[in-house]
C-alpha cells in the first residue's frame, strides 16, 4: 500500500527562504516522497511556499530571486515595511502574480490548504478551494497580512476580512495521514534546524514562535536557504525516502 503524506510549512516571515531551500531538496532528492504527496498546507510565508511547490515548482529559482529582492527592498526602507509610502502588499502581490501559472487555482484546489484568521471572529479557517486565480492570490495575500506591518486594511474576500493565518494556526496539521512539518525554527518539526542558532527576536503567534518581520541580512538569508536544503536532505535520507 502506498504511503500517503502531506507537507506543512510554518509561518515564518522572511525566514521562508529556509523553506524554499527545503523545497529545492524535495524537488531534487525527494521524488519518492513527492509521488506520495496528497496536499500541502501553510500559513503566511508557509502558504506561499506550499503554493510554489504545488503550482509552480519550475519557478523555484524565480521565487528565490524574488524573495531576496523583496527582502532587500524592505531592508532599504527606514522603518522597514512600515515606512510611509512603501506598499508591502503591492510588492508581494506582484511577486505572486509573476510566479503563479494561469491555471494555478485549478492545480491548487484540494491540494493547497491555506491558513487564514477571520478579522472579526479571530477564528481560524483553512481554505482549499479556489474559484479563480484571483481568488487564490487574495487568499495567499490574506494569509500573509499582518496588521500595521503590512498595512491598515485587511484583505477582503467574499465580504469577510482576513488577516495572517499565523495568528491562529501557524503550522497546520492534517487530520488524516502523516503531516511532514517544515520550519526554520528548532523544535519537534520533521524538517528544522537541529540546534538553536542565533535568530532575530521572536514574535509569538499561535502554536509556534515566528520571527519578527524584518528580513535578516543577505548572508544570513543565504545561509538559511542552504540550511533548509541540507536539513531536508538529512530528513529524506534518515526516513529512507532517497532509497531506490
Q: What is the pLDDT of residues 141-179, one digit of tens each?
A: 999 999 888 888 999 998 999 999 999 999 999 998 999
Q: Which domains does the chain have, with CATH numbers?
A: 5-239 (3.40.1090)
Catalytic residue among 164, 169, 190, 231: 164
Q: Which long-range contacts (CB under 8 A, 24 or more apart) does 192-199 make?
A: 192/231, 193/227, 193/231, 194/231
- For position 99, what pLDDT does the model report? 97
Q: What is the 3-state secondary structure (H, E, C) of 97-164?
A: HHHCCCCHHHHHCCCEEEEEEECCCCCEEEECCCCCHHHHHHHHHHHCCCCCCCCCCCEEECCEEEEE
Q: Is the pLDDT of residue 207 over 70?
A: no
Reported as a single tens digit per residue, the pLDDT across 68-89 is: 999 999 999 988 888 889 999 9
pTM, whole model, 2 decimals? Answer: 0.91
Catalytic residue among 8, 44, 143, 183: 44
Reported as a single tens digit per residue, the pLDDT across 104-137 is: 999 999 999 999 999 999 999 999 999 999 999 9
Asked if 183 contacts 146 with a C-beta cutoff of 8 angstroms, the reply is: no
Confidence band, pLDDT 50/70/90 cuts, at residue 205: very low
d(C-alpha 87, C-alpha 150), whole Å: 8
Cell digits of residue 47: 502558504
State yes or no: is 44 an active-site residue.
yes
Side-chain half-sphere exposure of 189, counting CA atoms within 13 A: 29
Amino acid at each position: 500500500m502506498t504511503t500517503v503524506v502531506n507537507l506543512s510549512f510554518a509561518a515564518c516571515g522572511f525566514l521562508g527562504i529556509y523553506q524554499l531551500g527545503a523545497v529545492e531538496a524535495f524537488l531534487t532528492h525527494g521524488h519518492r516522497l513527492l509521488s506520495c504527496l496528497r496536499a500541502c498546507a501553510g500559513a503566511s510565508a508557509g502558504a506561499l511556499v506550499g503554493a510554489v511547490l504545488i503550482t509552480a515548482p519550475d519557478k523555484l529559482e524565480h521565487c528565490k530571486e524574488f524573495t531576496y529582492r523583496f527582502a532587500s527592498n524592505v531592508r532599504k526602507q527606514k522603518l522597514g515595511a512600515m515606512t510611509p509610502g512603501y506598499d508591502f502588499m503591492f510588492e508581494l502581490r506582484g511577486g505572486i502574480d509573476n510566479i503563479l501559472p494561469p491555471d494555478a487555482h485549478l492545480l491548487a484546489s484540494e491540494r493547497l490548504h491555506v491558513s487564514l484568521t477571520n478579522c472579526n471572529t479571530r477564528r481560524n479557517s483553512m481554505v482549499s478551494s479556489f474559484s479563480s486565480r484571483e481568488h487564490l492570490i487574495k487568499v495567499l495575500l490574506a494569509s500573509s497580512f499582518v496588521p500595521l506591518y503590512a498595512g491598515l486594511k485587511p484583505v477582503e474576500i467574499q465580504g469577510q476580512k482576513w488577516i495572517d493565518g499565523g495568528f491562529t494556526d501557524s503550522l497546520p496539521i492534517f487530520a488524516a495521514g502523516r503531516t511532514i512539518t517544515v520550519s526554520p525554527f528548532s523544535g519537534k518539526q520533521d524538517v528544522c534546524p537541529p540546534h538553536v542558532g542565533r535568530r532575530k527576536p521572536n514574535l509569538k503567534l499561535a502554536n509556534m514562535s515566528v520571527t519578527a518581520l524584518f528580513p535578516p541580512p543577505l548572508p544570513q538569508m543565504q545561509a538559511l536557504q542552504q540550511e533548509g536544503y541540507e536539513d531536508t536532505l538529512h530528513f529524506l535520507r534518515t526516513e529512507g525516502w532517497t532509497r531506490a
